[in-house]
Amino acid sequence: MNASGVWCRTEAELDELIKSSASTFVTKSSTLEFREGNPEPRYVDLELGSINSMGLPNLGIDFYLNYSIKNNQKENFLSVAGLTREENLEMLEKVQNSEFSGLLELNLSCPNVIGKPQVGYDFDATKSLLEEVFSVYKKPLGVKLPPYFDIVHFQQIAEILNQFPLKFVTCVNSIGNGLFIDTDSEKVVIKPKNGFGGIGGKYIKPTALANVRQFYTLLNPEIKVIGCGGIENGKDAFEHILCGASMLQVGTQLMKEGMSAFDRIEKELREIMKQKGYSTIEDFKGKLQSL
Ligand code: RRO
């Protein structure tokens, strides 16, 4: 499927995802009300990936919720990213009381809203938010995590996540607050936040794989891992699955290539599987070997 944020903000974009060969899709992270987002330029393709500081532009929860209910040919993921605990709970109550029958991806990791730190880096806040979330929300729910970089942090956050009936975690959101510079002009390339933004694409694949692997190893097996980060071709997809991913999301490459990325990546993955003699995903999922 797409990664949340990529080609999933407007009705026309979502219609394209529905028609594509992706098995499902996820909507742009939503807030209670429409948001314009940060000033442009706010997304730039880079040689090895992308940088963005979109600032959560979206049409508001009602739009994405109604779209998901109306277009249920594909049971989709609805992404929610309230800027406060109250906003998240209000949106979840709305979804709980609706006919929505897909999965909710609660975004704990938007790096680009000025003055709002990524919830997933505050372990106490994550735990208390999840306690409240599961007291109001009874449908299938998972969380979109920021990338972690320290073994102790993986253990600490996994211990918290294991206390909740999560259906999945999505690893990872962009690596927050990177800085890309145009050497010729001696300028940054995006306008918001003096050029600081979330990094995606090739730059982040090793970090994404590390996160998929750690959470696959540390989480209860009922909590599935969705891999996201640097998937450009069949080999990248294979590596994510080898680390333990059960589903895959494509972000930067989908922006660069459009819908044909899904078919191409799947075809390349099937080719690798054939060469290796694997007939199903289960033949190699999670089976990464150590030396
Ligand atoms: O809209 C954004 O700036 C954004 C979000 Br909500 C997110 O979760 N990840 C990202 O890279 N950008």
User: Any idea what DSSP says for residue 290?
Assistant: P
Pocket test residue of 8, 9, 29 for ligand 1, highest count of atoms within 8 A of CB: 29
Residues 45-103: tens digit of each pLDDT: 999 999 999 999 999 999 999 999 999 788 999 999 999 999 999 999 999 999 999 99
Residues 148-165: tens digit of each pLDDT: 999 999 999 999 999 999
Domain ranges of the chain: 11-37+56-176+202-283
- CA of 233 from ligand 1 middle (Å) equals 23
Position in ligand 1 atom list of the atom nearest CA 173: 9
Residue 3 has pLDDT above 90, yes or no: yes
Instruction: Round the average pLDDT of the chain to a whole number and report it.
Output: 98
Residues 163-213: tens digit of each pLDDT: 999 999 999 999 999 999 999 999 999 999 999 999 999 999 999 999 999
Q: Active-site residue numbers? A: 110
Position in ligand 1 atom list of the atom nearest CA 176: 11
Fold of 11-37+56-176+202-283: TIM Barrel (3.20.20)
Query: Residue 138 has what pLDDT?
Result: 98
Ligand 1 binding pocket, CB closer than 6 Å: 5, 29, 52-56, 81, 107, 109-112, 173-174, 198
Contact criterion met (CB below 8 Å) for 35 and 55: yes
What pLDDT band is residue 214 in, cutting at 50, 70 and 90?
very high
Distance CA 270, CA 250 (A): 17
Query: Residue 59 has what pLDDT?
Result: 98
Contact criterion met (CB below 8 Å) for 143 and 165: no
- CA of 57 from ligand 1 middle (Å) equals 9
Position in ligand 1 atom list of the atom nearest CA 54: 3
